[in-house]
Amino acid sequence: MANIQFYMTPGSCSTGIHVLLEEVEDVFEVTVVNLPAGDQFKPDYVAINPKSTIPTLVRRDGTALTEVPAIAFWLARTHPRAGLWPQDAEREARLIEAMAYMAATVHGQGFARIFATATFARNPADHPAVQALGRDIVRQGFAVLAAALGDKPYLDDGFCAADPILFYLEFWADKLGMALPEAIAGHYRRMLARPAVQRVLREEGYNLATLGNVAILGAEAAAAMA
């Protein structure tokens, strides 16, 4: 039987899926897609994923699955022994809600304005304002997610398929030197302590000793963003 084929870019949103693949302990093969070099637009990749996005998961039946929330859901549901997806409708709905918000808003509207500023404004003079708005969206997003976490260590009753998605957002914030709400910083440190996460970060070329020393957003500032 063919292995799962995982198309990814180190340090990107695909890191979340990389973590999940390690957590479910499935066998997979990695192909690195070099985004700055334009690999996502090459005919061979477009034939697999016409969206020219990452990640892409080509499953054992040869079909490709795209979009981080969809891949996370599929991995959790097809690996029930890993216990990464709840069985009751309310908890399922809350995880879908969180994954959609993280991918579409915090990533797609917030971090995208920071990392891909020219996509939102062609005039370089507008770039600082676009990036500032992106940071505001990210901060607001983390405030919402901190409220969803509350006193829980993870987004569900235990570690679940949505947590690696939150992790890659936290990881980006760490790289940018952004302060995090206390609940989010705690989640990030718990994720960094997981063996699967440590393996993934090493494989993707990161020094674990440089990660996790994030500043905690002050109580007043956190309350203002909530």
Angle at 40 between CA 36 and CA 31, to 5 degrees: 95
Q: Name the band, by pLDDT with cuts 50, 70 and 90, for residue 226.
A: low
* Amino acid letter for position 43: P
Radius of gyration of the chain (CA): 17
Residue indicated by tokens 């957002």: 169
Q: Which stretches within the chain are classed as H helix?
A: 14-24, 43-48, 68-78, 89-101, 112-115, 117-120, 127-149, 163-176, 182-192, 195-203, 219-225
Sheet (strand 28-32) strand order: 28-32, 4-8, 56-58, 64-66
> What is the arithmetic mean of pLDDT over 147-163?
96
* CA–CA–CA angle 25, 54, 197 (5° rounding): 35
Domain 89-225: state its class: mainly alpha
Greatest CA separation for the chain: 55
Say which residue the tokens 């709905």 belong to: 93
Predicted structure pTM score: 0.94
Q: Which residues of 161-191 are buried (b: 16+ CB within 10 A; e: fewer)?
A: bbbbbbbbbbbbbbeeebbbbebbbbbbeeb
What residue spans define the domains of the chain? 4-82, 89-225
Burial class (CB in 10 A: 0-12, 13-18, 19+), 1: exposed
Q: Is the pLDDT of residue 220 over 50?
A: no
Distance CA 92, CA 76 (A): 12
Residue 162 DSSP SS3: coil
Q: Tell me the two tokens of residue 189.
A: 């440190």
For residue 49, pLDDT over 90 is answered with yes
The burial of 20, by beta-carbon neighbours within 10 Å (0-12 exposed, 13-18 middle, 19 or more buried), is given as buried
**Per-residue pLDDT tens digits for 89-135:** 999 999 999 999 999 999 999 999 999 999 999 999 999 999 999 99
**CATH code that applies to domain 4-82:** 3.40.30.10
Q: What would the pLDDT profile of 79-90 be if each residue is shown by its tens digit?
A: 999 999 999 999
Distance of alpha carbon 102 from alpha carbon 220, whole angstroms = 23
pLDDT band (50, 70, 90) for residue 221: low
Q: Return the SS3 of 4.
A: strand
What pLDDT does residue 218 have? 66
